[in-house]
Structure 1
Amino acid sequence: MADSQSSNCVKTARTTFQILEALKRKNEATVTELTEEFDLSKSSLHNYLNTLAKDEYVVKDGKSYRVGLKLLDLGGHARHKQRLYEIAKSEITSLAEETGELTNLLVEEHGKGIYLHRAHGADAVKTDSYIGQEVYLHNTGLGNAILAHLPRERVNEILDRHGMPASTENTITNRTELFENLDQVRENGYALDDEARVKGLRCVAVPIINNNDEVEGAISVSGPTSRFQDERFREIFPEKLQNVANVIELNITYT
């Protein structure tokens, strides 16, 4: 769905960021390859890329351009300005060491989930996710833990804007079914992701709720289905996460 504020956007600024997104998606690209995606002449695209390269936001390697590390500086600054990250990161790291699995901290921004922190235990699996990555909220345990504690109208706004694409055969793509699941998440106090975004991966997530009953983010433990079975998946990990969330919530209140 089109952004309701698109009429107020500066076209050249939007094009600049769309070029950066295209470079991220392609890993790297030449001017000719980008011309296939944009309704711009080669000379115009060349001007955009040269400007970005001069300001060090992209790197030119031969005829190809790629996203530069200067953007990492902006992202790192944004992350360190998140109070939840500063409060929760040590707890997330300790949880990874205790469980041996992959632990995560996610927040919602503009209707998507953003990974703020991840920690790998001794047996943690490698996944496609990374710090700063955007993910849909409807197909992750972390996202469901957050959506369950947002007002219904806000959830509908997010779904209207971003849709409910399927990542696996277990992804919920029906709005009614999703709301039923969110009701269950609120009742249980935790969300279960049973291969909803990544085949073979399960995740248990709980929300972080501040003293004003507002959801600030969510934390999770993720691992292969072979290790996330029965009691460990439905009892042990939910309890561990709720204990950690309680500590984080107290620190949010009194820090």
Structure 2
Amino acid sequence: MLENKNGTSEVSTTRTSFDILALIRDAGGATIADIRAETDLAKSTVYRHLKTLHDMDYLVEEDGEYRLSLRFLQLSEPPRIRRPGYIVAKQKVIELAIETDERALFLVEEEFEGVYLHRAGGRNPLQSDTMIGKRRPLHALASGKAILAEWSGERIDEFAETTALEALTSNTITDRDALFEELEQIREQGYATNMSEHMDGLRAAGVPVYNDEDDLIGALSVFGPSGRVSREDIESTYPDLLERKASELKIDLTYD
């Protein structure tokens, strides 16, 4: 393990900086006092981390409050652009939002987690924790389960063995056998649903997305409040629309 001239672990120092960044992000901004209240770090330690991040233009400071700078956009955009189907998927998400008047998403998998790559809202988009780059558990999402259902049995076993099937609501699948059973049903019907499994009162439908070389690249989904989105929407209207958009995406990639 590398050490700096003060004998401090560089790995530990880096982790502390990222912990501080996450705290500032979640709070929407924080002062030195705020950070100290949430950690066991000394004031001088907090200050050194903040000063370094500020000098590198990753933080902006106003009246003693630190916020994430727009420099993070430079870090986040290249990985998104390099994802297969990035541009075409973005257009399909916009089309889905317009045609359903609800929130539409494109999700990809990374290290057994779902990551939102695109999102768009129609006239009545539900506000939820779907920020671009947000990581969510695959087993609690329609799009996540749509991806899981396409995996080999070996990879699903690895997922189940290494991932905690955390309960986000009372409807979240937390049993391995129950998850496997639902994935089999998803394969048979061609789409996945989410009935208040990720958030109470939310319904969603999702389908897998393949590129022109038949590689699984992610999943498209549409979701909305249960008071507005009917079971017919989730089990018929939305799946048909999603499957059409997924097919169009694959065709567009062929001639891209």
Short-chain TM bin: 0.7 to 0.9
SS across alignment from 1:83? coil
- Listed as ranges, the matches of 1:116-155 within 5 Å are 116-155=117-156
SS across alignment from 1:220? strand
Q: Which residue of 2 aligns with 1:178?
A: 179
Higher mean alpha-carbon deviation, 187-196 vs 79-88, is at 79-88
Q: Distance in 2 between matches of 1:254 and 1:153?
A: 33
CA deviations on 1:196-224 (whole Å, 9 max, x unpaired) are 11111100000012355432100011112
Whether 1:248 and 2:249 are equivalent positions in the alignment is yes
- Listed as ranges, the matches of 1:54-203 within 5 Å are 54-203=55-204
Shift of 1:242: 0.6
CA deviations on 1:129-179 (whole Å, 9 max, x unpaired) are 222221111111011111111233433444455422211111111122111
Q: 1:250 to 1:110 in 2, by over 3 A?
A: same
CA deviations on 1:60-115 (whole Å, 9 max, x unpaired) are 23333222221122212322232322121112212221222221111111222111
SS across alignment from 2:35? helix
Q: Distance in 2 between matches of 1:193 and 1:106?
A: 14
Q: Which residue of 2 aligns with 1:3?
A: none
Q: 1:149–1:214: 8 Å Cα contact kept in structure 2? A: no
Q: Which residue of 1 aligns with 2:52?
A: 51
Q: Distance in 2 between matches of 1:125 and 1:26?
A: 22
Q: 1:166–1:173: 8 Å Cα contact kept in structure 2? A: yes
Q: Which residue of 2 aligns with 1:26?
A: 27
Structure 2: runs of 5 or more not aligned: 1-9
SS across alignment from 1:138? helix
Q: 1:161 to 1:23 in 2, by over 3 A?
A: farther
Q: Which residue of 1 aligns with 2:4?
A: none
What one-letter code is carried by the residue in structure 2 that aligns with 1:216?
I
TM-score for the superposition, normalised by structure 2: 0.87
Q: Distance in 1 between matches of 2:119 and 2:41?
A: 39
Shift of 1:33: 3.5
TM-score for the superposition, normalised by structure 1: 0.87
What one-letter code is carried by the residue in structure 1 that aligns with 2:111?
H
Q: 1:246 to 1:160 in 2, by over 3 A?
A: same
Q: Distance in 1 between matches of 2:100 and 2:177?
A: 34
Higher mean alpha-carbon deviation, 87-96 vs 74-83, is at 74-83
Higher mean alpha-carbon deviation, 30-39 vs 218-227, is at 30-39
Q: 1:206–1:238: 8 Å Cα contact kept in structure 2? A: yes
Q: Which residue of 2 aligns with 1:41?
A: 42
Q: Distance in 2 between matches of 1:29 and 1:158?
A: 36
Q: Distance in 2 between matches of 1:97 and 1:233?
A: 17
**Count of residue correspondences:** 247
What one-letter code is carried by the residue in structure 2 that aligns with 1:182?
L
Q: Distance in 2 between matches of 1:46 and 1:233?
A: 50
SS across alignment from 1:108? strand
Structure 1: runs of 5 or more not aligned: 1-8
Q: Distance in 2 between matches of 1:213 and 1:181?
A: 23
